[in-house]
Amino acid sequence: MSFDTTAHNRRMTYFDEHESVWLFGYGSLIWKADFDYLERRPASIRGWVRRFWQGSHDHRGTPEAPGRVVTLVADAGATCHGMAYRIPPRVFEPLDIREKNGYLRVVTDMTFEDGAADGVEQAEGVVYLAGEDNAAYLGPAEEAAIARQIAESHGPSGPNRDYLLNLAAALRELGFEDAHVFALERALLAE
């Protein structure tokens, strides 16, 4: 099962005339920045939580046995911590292909968390979001079941477990708490 969002994202022209755009990363973009960027800063967005509720049929699983990767779920009181990248808009072209399995580019406000000397603390930018109406969406499940699925899944980008362990390690290194991710990491390592 797949839901190729590339064409939809190509029509997202909101930032086309900008020299650079802030992209908020909350999943693999935190630890796998294999694209050109001008600067990066720890950042957060409000009103969202990170959840391993999106199926991965093309990176960390297969159409027959999907893995699980993160998306954002609306939660009015929550803050999601991640990494923001200032990118030239042309970088969306390869990213739209890399993240084509249900993710749409959405405009978001973000807050920088590094207290940088330039005094800029907020920006409008973009986040990739896979909503519950996309065909690859798996939704919630028991932690143990999610951890088991991640432990057993492999895809063209490698084992699903590496995705979870890399994300947990990156969040820890940045000093960010995420109860959902760390609980899944514990469950996976206890398998």
Q: Which is nearer to ligand BEZ, 45 or 188 (CB)?
A: 45
Distance from C-alpha of 18 to C-alpha of 130, rounded to nearest angstrom: 24
Residues that bind ligand BEZ (CB under 6 A): 25-30, 70, 99, 103, 128
Specify whether 121 is catalytic: no
Sign of CA dihedral 122, 124, 127, 133: positive
Q: Which residues pair with 124 in a beta bridge?
A: 109
Which one of 93, 99, 152, 173 is the catalytic residue? 99
Residues 6 or more apart in contact with residue 186 via CB below 8 angstroms = none
Nearest-approach distance from CB 35 to ligand BEZ, in angstroms: 11
Q: In angstroms, give the least distance from the CB of 28 to ligand BEZ.
A: 5
Shorter beta-carbon distance to ligand BEZ: residue 28 or 153: 28
| Contact between residue 82 and residue 30 where contact means Cβ atoms under 8 Å apart | yes
Between 30 and 171, name the residue whose CB sits nearer to ligand BEZ.
Answer: 30
Q: Which residues are catalytic?
A: 99
